[in-house]
A and B are shown apart, each in its own frame.
Chain A
Amino acid sequence: MAINLFNKADFTVVECDGELSIFNVREAFLQLSELAEQPPEKLILDLSSLLEFDSAGMQLCWWLKSRMPEHTEFVLSMADNDVVQKVFALYQLDADFQPLADNPQEPVNGHA
């Protein structure tokens, strides 16, 4: 299945596997809702093994981030995943969902 939740050291890891797109965002959302209700201290959203990723998928990640309180350390990792990088590049967004143009020096997958 698409989303695995597990703990690694003091991080809660959300590992997305295979596909995160309009075709399964509802399913993924149901799994992530719990996380949004009880935000962990440290969260890693790992998109590096995705094969399919689209705007709906990106939006869901964004929503998840928006639901994390200030003190939660949120890290989005796409590593060198081409599919994910392309989407972020098109929107000219960095891994913090900040526009790239504001800090052009920063590489796209800065937090990886």
Chain B
Amino acid sequence: MDMHEAQLLFINEAEELLDVMESCLLEVEAGDATIDAHIDAIFRAAHTIKGSAGLFGFDAIVAFTHSVESVLEQVRADKLEFTPALAELLLDCHRHMVQMIQSIADPELASDKNQGTKLLAALDVYLHPPKSDEPLTDTSQAPIPDDSGHWSIHIDYGREVFRDGMDPCSQLKFLQTLGQVDDVRVTADFSDGEFDPECCYLRLQMALISSADKQQIEEVFEFIQDSSKVTISAPKALVNKVQACAEDDARLGETLVNSGALTKRELEMALAEQRRALQENRQAEALGNMLIKQGAVDKSLVSAALSKQKNQEHKRPIDLQFLKVDARKLDNLIGLIGELVTAGAANELLIGQLAHEKLQESFAGMTLLVEQIRDAALGLRMVQIGESFGRLKRIVRDVSKELGKDINLEVLGAETELDKSMVEKLSDPLMHIVRNAIDHGIEPQDVRIYKGKPSQGQLCLNAYHEAGAVVIEITDDGAGLDPDRIRAKAIENGILDTDKQLSKEDIYKLIFEPGFSTASAITNLSGRGVGMDVVKRNIEELRGQISIASDINQGTRFRIRLPLTLAIIDGFEVTVGDAHLVIPVNMIQECLAFDAEALAVERDYLNLRGEVLPFVRVRDILKIPGQRLQREHVVVVQFGENRAGLVVETLLGELQAVIKPLNKMFRAIRGIGGSTVMGSGDIGFILDVPQLIEFTMHKESRQCAPASDKSEKEKHE
């Protein structure tokens, strides 16, 4: 694994942990759980992030998370009460940590340093409550923690320390916050050539009685680490602690770091030295020796840790509940299973020709297994949608706070599973809809009371499976969409012709048009240039549909319907000319024989049990060459509220189609969503029904354009 991959893994892990941290904090804040129930998980998240960030040398993250962790530790030890104010602060810290993690992946998203400093200062208030006015020299009253010891600290200040804006005084002051500083010995060596008043000639030595670990102490000297020589030696008492630290299976270095006798930086330096030695083909020294040589730890500490490590070697945990797998490996597996399905179909064709009953039976058994394997493999990519909903909870909380609205969020069906890649692509559109609902949907409290509604607004997220698809609904009990206003706005923005009459549903759809925005006052939250058109496009990219239902003053419901997976669909195979086409089965209502002669020539709709059914001649719209067959069929498809007929030639039956996206070169193609390799080895095209209908409408409207346009065009040609 190279560094980059390892880093990605770290980012991934950190994001997951931050999600856990966030949802726990939110639950506690909302009163759905007690802090006692979640503090361990929250603490562990912060602790793990700090540890891994240290391994990668993300010092800013380590430093910040360290403070967060320290506060959490106090909460865990019941030394600090978990107040709403603290919850708020920790949520802000969480947001800052998310930013810091994101800025690793994308340095353009630099995290706000000022924000970090502010948060650290706020955390510090919890860590070091202002003490009573103790005289500084009188430290005899200072409490001495139980498992304390004397750390001895030597600092040989570099010449440039003053000029770098550092003052040893501030470090001494800070050390006093960690514990009791004793036996300060400061010496100044002016013998070295000409005295320069701006150079620092000081050397400092002291004893520190503190329960802080080495990392904490070393952080005090973070900014002079490069210019000065700082040696921190662990107290003897820690030797005992290393021996006592019995549970976790940690290697020597980690053991020492965990017990607080060694910092991550020192460990890294020693490990780097080891690597260098190996590269130069020198005999690498044992880590322990190296650490002793560096002066980082005492010899007795190392031997204590080593003996502990030996004891632990046989006790690795076996009950791993989760296994992290590279997403590419999984995609690869699913790809192979797609091939297997295709190859299975090819064999089925051949076996069908043999009329060998036993062979057919045994093959049917195998087909069943292949289907199960396919479903299980696709299941590996499935995650619960709750993960996405968790993020929405945060948005609801933040946005409603910002707008001063009281909103209750109800989440249903959080356990509904969906393809992981879809969950990721869904989070932006969902976020946008939810923001819109809070911002524009749910009225301010006074307006609600005036309307006779409860002052608390309701927002509901619901996810469920329905006939091979996942449905996500976002419902609010707000003002609802006003068709007249939308209409007026659309006309104003030039999206709609003044004289065009539309149904209520069609008017709602106008909000998905590019350049449409109903926000009468653009607030900080919505109207940031991303419109509902982007939402619709995102959903369509997932082969999904979005629809709106709304009643004035009752509320609005957005309904998103998505396929279960992006990899394989159940399709119905038809042909037109030489082309094999696949229609998604879940859209098909029925198939009819097409009686071409009974139809008027210039009319593309038919009478389906008294209802008008417009139809698309697939051969014409896709310009498929060849002779039209005598017998044609109509496949009646339904998508959302729309129904249409597709005129095709032969109906071949159902199949499982492994979707192969078409090359980017063909991005302009309309009505075809992808390709698939069929059992025969032929390539078929998967119809994108909504797009095909739209394309037909688009063409028709151009053909029906006023005659003047046409003659003008002809003149040019």
Task: Please say whether the chains A and B touch (CB closer than 8 A).
Answer: yes
Chain A residues near B (Cβ < 8 Å): 22, 25-26, 28-29, 54-56, 59-60, 62-63, 66, 86-87, 89-93, 97, 99-101, 108
* Contact-residue size bin, chain B (C-beta under 8 Å from the other chain): 20 to 34
In Å, the complex CA distance between A100 and B206 comes to 13
Q: Is the CB of A56 within 8 A of B162?
A: yes
Q: Point out the residue from B136, B173, B197 that lies within 8 Å of A26, measured CB to CB.
A: B197
Question: In angstroms, how far is the closest chain B Cβ from the Cβ of A76?
Answer: 14
What are 15 residue pairs bridging A and B, where the CB atoms are less than 8 Å apart in the complex? A22-B167, A25-B197, A29-B197, A55-B167, A55-B202, A62-B188, A63-B195, A90-B136, A90-B169, A90-B172, A90-B184, A91-B172, A92-B186, A97-B188, A99-B183
Which B-chain residue is minimally distant from A93 (CB atoms)? Answer: B186
In Å, the complex CA distance between A91 and B162 comes to 16
Residues from chain B with a CB closer than 8 A to the CB of A28 are 197
Question: In angstroms, how far is the closest chain A Cβ from the Cβ of B133?
Answer: 13
Residue B609 CB within 8 A of the other chain? no
Q: Is the CB of A91 within 8 A of B186?
A: yes
Question: In angstroms, how far is the closest chain A Cβ from the Cβ of B627?
Answer: 94
Residues from chain B with a CB closer than 8 A to the CB of A99 are 183-186
Residue B137 CB within 8 A of the other chain? yes
Closest 5 CB pairs of A and B: A29-B197, A92-B184, A25-B197, A90-B172, A91-B186
Residue B223 CB within 8 A of the other chain? no
In Å, the complex CA distance between A86 and B195 comes to 25
Which B-chain residue is minimally distant from A87 (CB atoms)? Answer: B169
Residue B558 CB within 8 A of the other chain? no
Q: Would A89 and B136 be within 8 Å (CB), given that A22-B163, A59-B188 are in contact?
A: yes
Hey, what's the 0/1 contact readout for B192-228 against A, CB within 8 Å counting as 1? 0001011011101000000000000000000000000
In Å, the complex CA distance between A60 and B552 comes to 79
Residues from chain A with a CB closer than 8 A to the CB of B200 are 55-56, 59
In Å, the complex CA distance between A34 and B68 comes to 53
Residue B639 CB within 8 A of the other chain? no
Q: Is the CB of A63 within 8 A of B197?
A: yes
Q: Is the CB of A25 within 8 A of B198?
A: yes
Which A-chain residue is minimally distant from B176 (CB atoms)? Answer: A90
Question: In angstroms, how far is the closest chain B Cβ from the Cβ of A34?
Answer: 14
Residue B190 CB within 8 A of the other chain? yes
Which B-chain residue is minimally distant from A36 (CB atoms)? Answer: B195
In Å, the complex CA distance between A63 and B202 comes to 11
Which A-chain residue is minimally distant from B191 (CB atoms)? Answer: A66
Q: Is the CB of B190 within 8 A of A56?
A: no
Residue B344 CB within 8 A of the other chain? no
Q: Would A59 and B184 be within 8 Å (CB), given that A22-B162, A86-B136, A90-B136 are in contact?
A: no
Majority secondary structure of chain A interface residues (helix, strand, loop or mixed): helix
Residues from chain B with a CB closer than 8 A to the CB of A63 are 188, 190, 195, 197, 201
In Å, the complex CA distance between A54 and B198 comes to 12
Q: Point out the residue from A22, A86, A89, A93 that lies within 8 Å of B198, measured CB to CB.
A: A22
Question: In angstroms, how far is the closest chain B Cβ from the Cβ of A19?
Answer: 14
Scoring A28, A63, A91, A101 by chain B CB atoms within 10 A of each residue's CB, the highest score goes to: A91
Which A-chain residue is minimally distant from B165 (CB atoms)? Answer: A22
Question: In angstroms, how far is the closest chain A Cβ from the Cβ of B342?
Answer: 75
Residue B168 CB within 8 A of the other chain? yes
Residues from chain B with a CB closer than 8 A to the CB of A86 are 136, 169
Q: Is the CB of B137 within 8 A of A108?
A: yes
Residues from chain B with a CB closer than 8 A to the CB of A92 are 137, 183-186
Residues from chain A with a CB closer than 8 A to the CB of B190 are 62-63, 66
In Å, the complex CA distance between A59 and B137 comes to 21
Question: In angstroms, how far is the closest chain A Cβ from the Cβ of B187?
Answer: 9
In Å, the complex CA distance between A108 and B204 comes to 19
Scoring B163, B188, B201 by chain A CB atoms within 10 A of each residue's CB, the highest score goes to: B188
Residues from chain A with a CB closer than 8 A to the CB of B165 are 22
Question: In angstroms, how far is the closest chain A Cβ from the Cβ of B370?
Answer: 76
Residues from chain A with a CB closer than 8 A to the CB of B163 are 22
Residues from chain B with a CB closer than 8 A to the CB of A26 are 197-198
Hey, what's the 0/1 contact readout for B392-403 against A, CB within 8 Å counting as 1? 000000000000
Residues from chain A with a CB closer than 8 A to the CB of B204 are 91
Q: Would A60 and B197 be within 8 Å (CB), given that A54-B167, A66-B190, A91-B184 are in contact?
A: yes
Residues from chain B with a CB closer than 8 A to the CB of A29 are 195, 197
Q: Is the CB of A56 within 8 A of B169?
A: no
In Å, the complex CA distance between A29 and B165 comes to 19
Which A-chain residue is minimally distant from B164 (CB atoms)? Answer: A22
In Å, the complex CA distance between A90 and B173 comes to 7
Kindly list 16 other residue pairs between chains A and B, CB separation below 8 angstroms, not including A22-B198, A55-B202, A63-B190.
A22-B162, A25-B197, A29-B195, A55-B169, A55-B200, A59-B197, A59-B200, A62-B190, A63-B195, A66-B188, A90-B173, A91-B169, A99-B185, A99-B186, A101-B182, A108-B137
Residues from chain A with a CB closer than 8 A to the CB of B169 are 54-55, 86-87, 90-91
Residues from chain B with a CB closer than 8 A to the CB of A60 are 197
Residues from chain B with a CB closer than 8 A to the CB of A91 are 168-169, 172, 184, 186, 204
Q: Is the CB of B201 within 8 A of A59?
A: yes
In Å, the complex CA distance between A26 and B167 comes to 16
Which B-chain residue is minimally distant from A66 (CB atoms)? Answer: B190
In Å, the complex CA distance between A51 and B214 comes to 35
Residues from chain B with a CB closer than 8 A to the CB of A25 are 197-198
In Å, the complex CA distance between A82 and B687 comes to 83
In Å, the complex CA distance between A3 and B202 comes to 23
In Å, the complex CA distance between A56 and B167 comes to 8
In Å, the complex CA distance between A67 and B168 comes to 23
Q: Point out the residue from A56, A66, A89, A100 that lies within 8 Å of B197, measured CB to CB.
A: A56
Residues from chain B with a CB closer than 8 A to the CB of A89 are 136-137
